[in-house]
A and B are shown apart, each in its own frame.
Chain A
Amino acid sequence: MTQINRLAGGQINQSSRVNFEFDGKSFQGHSGDTLASALLANNVRLMGRSFKYHRPRGVLTAGSEEPNALVELRSGAYQEPNTRATTAELFDGLVAKSQNRFPSLKFDAMAINDRFSNFLTAGFYYKTFMWPAAFWEKVYEPIIRKAAGLGSLSRQEDPDVYDKGFLHCDLLIIGSGPAGLAAALSAGRAGARVILAEEDYVWGGRLNAENISMDDQSGVEWAAAVMAELATLPNVRCMSRTTIMGAFDHGIYGAVERVADHLNHSENGKPRQILWRIYTKKSLLCAGAIERPIAFENNDRPGIMLAGAMRSYANRWAVTPAHTVAIFTNNDDGHRTAVDLMAKGVKVSAIIDTRPDAPKIADCDLLSGAQVIDTSGRLGLRSIKVRLSDGSLRKIECGALGVSGGWNPNLHITCHQRGRPVWDNQIAAFVPGPDGPAGLYVAGAAQGEFSTSAALQTGHAQAARALLDMDITAPQIQLPQTECQEVNLTPFWYVNEGKGRAWLDQQNDVTVKDVKLAHQENFRSVEHLKRYTTLGMATDQGKTSNMGGLAIMAELAGKSIPEVGTTIFRPPYTPVSIGALGGRARGKEFHPTRKTPSHKWSVEQGAVFVETGNWLRAQWFPKDGETTWRETVDREVRAVRGSVGICDVTTLGKIDIQGTDAAQFINKIYANAFAKLPVGKVRYGLMLREDGIAMDDGTTARFAEDQFVMTTTTANAVNVYRHLEFARQCLWPDMDVQLISTTEAWAQYAITGPNSRKVLQKIVDPEFDISNDGFGFMACREITICGGLRARLFRISFSGELAYELAVPTRYGDALIRRLIDVGQEFDVVPYGTEALGVMRIEKGHAAGNELNGTTTALNLGMGRMVSKKKDSIGSTLSEREGLNTKDALTLIGVKPIDISEKITAGGHLMTKGDPVDAAHGQGYVTSAAYSPVLNTSIGLALVKNGANRMGETMVLVSPITGTEISVTLVSPHFVDPEGGRLRA
């Protein structure tokens, strides 16, 4: 098909050929085209089907406010639904499909809905799908979703990548029309740091759409000259294809830069889009205005568009939607479209102006005081029916109709922080109110100043004001002489003639009648109107439709439009892809990964890893021939308890606490006594939250009178550090305490098992006595190993075995594990992972995260007596609350199955034998469970009411999740070596 609607001129490269495909058909356009302009050039007016009634629709606008011409752009995994054809830049190989139609755009079977429009009015869903309630989710909703809607998802992972970034400026200028360019010139020359953001891919905004002169240049030439100057200013950053999508707190704006949407594919590794966070001192909105339509019967046929858009297509893209057009307007601006199109050789059959005193501006038939009352043409406009001022009817043949109901300042950004616009009678439109985001100024058409001349002047003036607020003086600049025509509008919202449907919101199929129905059914608040009729919802958020709905509601309610008010404007201004919001944080990069010092070695050993927070920890180390994880873990546990094993425990938090008050500080943090811990000793500590609930536990070592190293659980490392900082800075600022994390600075290994000392003795330098007498249980000291490497040694045990923890500077962590395994060969040393670690701590009855679960007290954990009464510590007072100290308080206890072939289930609930199995009779629950290869039975730790006094009782363990019910015995939680002889050996 040739481009039969292509005109001469325009800002496209008419000598270029760009091939593209729409609904499987091949077309050609030019570089500089949008998909919409190229389709119009090829005489394709039908571009989509409507949301509810599947009515044929064409392009309404020439910008991002487009409600109708939404397409699925690209194919396969790159497919993106609801892309506006009006903003999609044409590139060679572009593939687009129309959406929401079956089987084809021209013949859409779902258009049957249109025949039932009397039933499908506003509130239809709410009234119809009332019962049976159960049908909603399974029957009604799927059917409705299938029938109604916009584009479809590919259901494949988005292969594009997206970036985020951060920018800073003195002045952010939003929009590069005449106001924005005048402002940028002023601020740029003043030396301010300026960001000029333009959503379009060309600079100049409306200057590209108008045929105007600025001094002796065209508007386009002037814009190019300004941009050329701005490009030379290092303090000005010009960002095209960048939409400011929201105004957020403290002068921060969100911006989406479409880096590669105009390319066939983004380059490898480069983002398709960048979500910028722009930190501004001041900002200036120069976003122009959006034209509004007039509603009349069948005003939605392809070929009926906004008059300003029709002018844009002609002037910028050298395209007319048809060779014979008409104009329907209530203001002078509509006439400009006729003038410009006629200048391009397009026949304008008539201007229908609702004003009886309409001026004669264009040299064509002017029908003053007339209204378009109906249209015809199934898949595209063929003719319009006009009621003339004398009451007679006239049918006018035309392939397109440009409609202008006036212009609405594009003020969305000013309302993103719940600011309210105010009404301006002069232009019959809302203008920005006084309560916009702090530091935001408005200029040009966005402020209600519609002439080019006023845009230039206000752009400069508002930039100067903003700069002055930053103590920057803007230089005087020479603004060009240009048009200063008034719009001269007489408000006219809809044609009140005819029984058919007059469309207000073409994206959501909302008609004048729907608004009347909402009023009739008392959904009169503007927010109710929106929800009841769906007016102003979905991708365009009613940019071209809201005002019409408000005007009609105002008329029906006998109120003024400002009394009816607007709905809340919220970010984003235009749709933002989820990919841009996610940025690079997806898949493996969703969060940072933390690796232990033994990671590389563990990978070499074939370790299976588990994520604990961001850490990757070795869970177990399978050996050849082992077929299940249990087999591996059982072996590791037996090896440790039988000889010796090594486990990387670097992930435990380590906090260096120093200062003359360090001991007193720790004494206040931990519930148990710490002030008198001798130098060279370690003690187990339990810290409580302010409310008396256990917060975290760990060991703290005293290396000097004024220096401690506190360890925390892996999961709580950050929380505990934060807690300590809060206590230091806010609770006891007079204490001399200094904190810093050293978690990552030291690689720390547990060397565990009866032969652990023998292994250590092979690497600890001989001057350090680590015999039982020289380095007893709970000792710590700084030593050297392997001939001089500084290290820290702690004699602590999580497993109940003779055990040590050895720390060296992290860079030597890899070498150390290799050395430990090497020297331990004669003792059959094994590496063991977190699973074996967990089994052994359950065997020993040590509480861990499952028990310190945010609900348990020291008493619950069997450590009630540790909460010292001789001192004050965080949480100690509130831990004495009566409700936490009842006789039947939960106590940590061990459980074993009576039949050792049965399994203890973590999370299972314990019931008194013979009692009903229900929540009311629950006696407690199993917190941790494991198979003990030492005891050859499943074991568990449980919190049971009055558990300490129920030792030996047989209870029933039920787990509704696994559907099991077994008999268990309550036993001591210390399954292995309850006397603690091994760890002191």
Chain B
Amino acid sequence: MHDLIPLSPLEAAAPRVEKYDGIRISECPDWAYASLAARQGQEKSCNQFAMDLLGFKLPDIGQITHSNTLAAFWIGPHQWMIEAPYSSHENLAAQIKRAVADTGSVTEQTDGWVRFDLHGARCHDVLERLCNVDIRIMQQGQATRTRLEHLGCFLICRKTGSEFSILGPRSSAETLFHALTTAAKAIL
């Protein structure tokens, strides 16, 4: 076991959490990500292998599907992002690759992203200041790509109205966090 100490995207040992009236913004470094893209002509097999691993069918456009520990959301034609707890799936990409073998291309994405979770009744108010997604009709189980503070992000609705995740480029974690907290302060 190595002895290197990880830093969170916001350059701290512990993840940041900011609480405001009606919204909590949490940095969530404890998630592993890997992209899965079906190989050309292998789409059906890839989907089947993935389903065997995940326990659910890979989601359609704009959707995220969960099991107890794993989730997958659509990020492009025949392409998904798989999500899993970091503690149990640090090597998520290798696990998926083993499952799909040559039917899919798998790439580790864990540290390419910073994830911020938004909880609370005022998520809509914050997000409508930041991105052009029609946030008020976004339902649990929907995921989309959007631009937020000039940054290409994924936006996932975990619970209609009150729980959202944002995955943004890790190197701009501070910019994204600043935008989220600034918007939170602006709406209160």
Contacts and interface: CB of A to CB of B under 8 A. Distances in A.
B134 A658 contact: no
Contact of A600 (B11, B29, B111, B128): B11
A303 to B, nearest CB: 43
Given A168-B134, A658-B107, A736 B169 contact: no
A559 interface: no
B153 to A, nearest CB: 11
Given A595-B171, A740-B107, 14 more contacts: A163-B183, A269-B186, A592-B175, A593-B175, A597-B7, A615-B171, A659-B105, A660-B40, A736-B40, A742-B109, A745-B108, A786-B4, A788-B2, A809-B110
Interface string A723-739: 00000000000111010
A279 B132 CA distance: 9
Nearest to B173: A595
A656 interface: yes
Interface string A688-712: 0000000000000000001100000
Interface string B75-116: 000010000000000010000000000100111111111000
B26 interface: no
Contacts of B150: 585, 591-592
A735 B105 CA distance: 14
6 contacts: A656-B105, A659-B40, A736-B39, A744-B171, A789-B4, A814-B7
Contacts of A615: 171
Contacts of B176: 592
A599 interface: yes
A813 B5 CA distance: 9
A816 interface: yes
Given A164-B129, A584-B179, A745 B110 contact: yes
Interface in B1-24: 1-9, 11
Contacts of A811: 6-9, 29, 111
A816 B4 contact: yes
Contacts of B1: 787-788
Given A592-B175, A595-B11, A658-B37, A277 B132 contact: yes
A787 B3 contact: yes
Nearest to A616: B171
Contact of B111 (A269, A592, A738, A810): A810
Interface string A595-638: 11101100000000000001100000000000000000000000
Interface residues of A, number: 63
Given A811-B8, A812-B6, A736 B41 contact: yes
Interface string A798-816: 0000000000111111111
Contact of B11 (A599, A658, A745): A599
Interface in B156-188: 169-176, 178-179, 182-183, 185-186
B118 to A, nearest CB: 16
A743 B11 contact: no
A279 B134 contact: yes
Contacts of B52: none
Interface string A261-285: 0000000011100100101000000
A592 B151 contact: yes
A741 B112 contact: yes
A165 B134 CA distance: 11
A407 interface: no
B136 interface: yes
B63 interface: no
Listed residue (B4, B110, B133) with the most chain A CB atoms within 10 angstroms of its CB? B4
Interface of A: 161, 163-168, 269-271, 274, 277, 279, 584-585, 589, 591-597, 599-600, 614-615, 650, 656, 658-660, 706-707, 734-736, 738, 740-747, 784-790, 808-816, 819
Given A269-B182, A658-B107, A744-B170, A592 B149 contact: yes
B50 to A, nearest CB: 14
A22 B128 CA distance: 38
A165 B169 contact: no
Contacts of A274: 129
Contacts of A789: 2, 4
The 3 tightest CB contacts between A and B, nearest first, are: A658-B105, A810-B111, A745-B112
A614 B113 CA distance: 16
Interface string B19-35: 00000000001000001
Contacts of A738: 37, 39, 79, 105
A395 to B, nearest CB: 58
A166 B172 contact: no
Given A166-B131, A658-B105, A745-B109, A810 B175 contact: no
A741 B171 CA distance: 13
Contacts of B178: 589
Given A167-B128, A742-B112, A745-B112, A593 B172 contact: yes
Contacts of A658: 37, 105-107
Nearest to A718: B152
Given A592-B172, A593-B174, A740-B37, A165 B113 contact: no
Contacts of A819: 4
Contact of A740 (B29, B35, B102, B128): B35
Contacts of B110: 745, 809
A615 B79 CA distance: 28
Listed residue (B2, B129, B183, B185) with the most chain A CB atoms within 10 angstroms of its CB? B2
A889 to B, nearest CB: 39
Contacts of A740: 35, 37, 79, 107, 109
B48 to A, nearest CB: 18
A784 B128 CA distance: 44
A596 B2 contact: no
A789 B91 CA distance: 11
Contact of B186 (A163, A279, A589, A787): A163
A819 B39 CA distance: 39
Contacts of B132: 166, 277, 279
A744 B113 contact: yes
B170 A810 contact: yes
A769 B8 CA distance: 32
Nearest to A660: B39
Nearest to B125: A165
B19 to A, nearest CB: 15
Given A166-B131, A279-B132, A811-B29, A744 B169 contact: yes
Contacts of A813: 7
Contacts of A270: 185-186
Listed residue (B102, B108, B113) with the most chain A CB atoms within 10 angstroms of its CB? B108
Contacts of B136: 168
B186 A271 contact: yes
A279 B133 CA distance: 10
Nearest to A784: B2
A743 to B, nearest CB: 7
A785 B2 contact: yes
Nearest to A657: B105
B60 to A, nearest CB: 19
A815 B5 contact: yes
Contact of B6 (A599, A744, A788, A815): A815
A269 B178 CA distance: 12
B171 to A, nearest CB: 4
A808 B7 CA distance: 13
B35 to A, nearest CB: 5
Listed residue (A161, A279, A585, A659) with the most chain B CB atoms within 10 angstroms of its CB? A659
A865 to B, nearest CB: 33
A165 B111 contact: no
Contacts of A747: 111
Interface string B111-151: 11100000000000000111111101100000000000111
Contacts of B3: 786-787
A815 B4 CA distance: 6
Nearest to B170: A744
A270 B186 CA distance: 4
Contacts of B129: 163-166, 274
Contact of A744 (B4, B35, B111, B128): B111
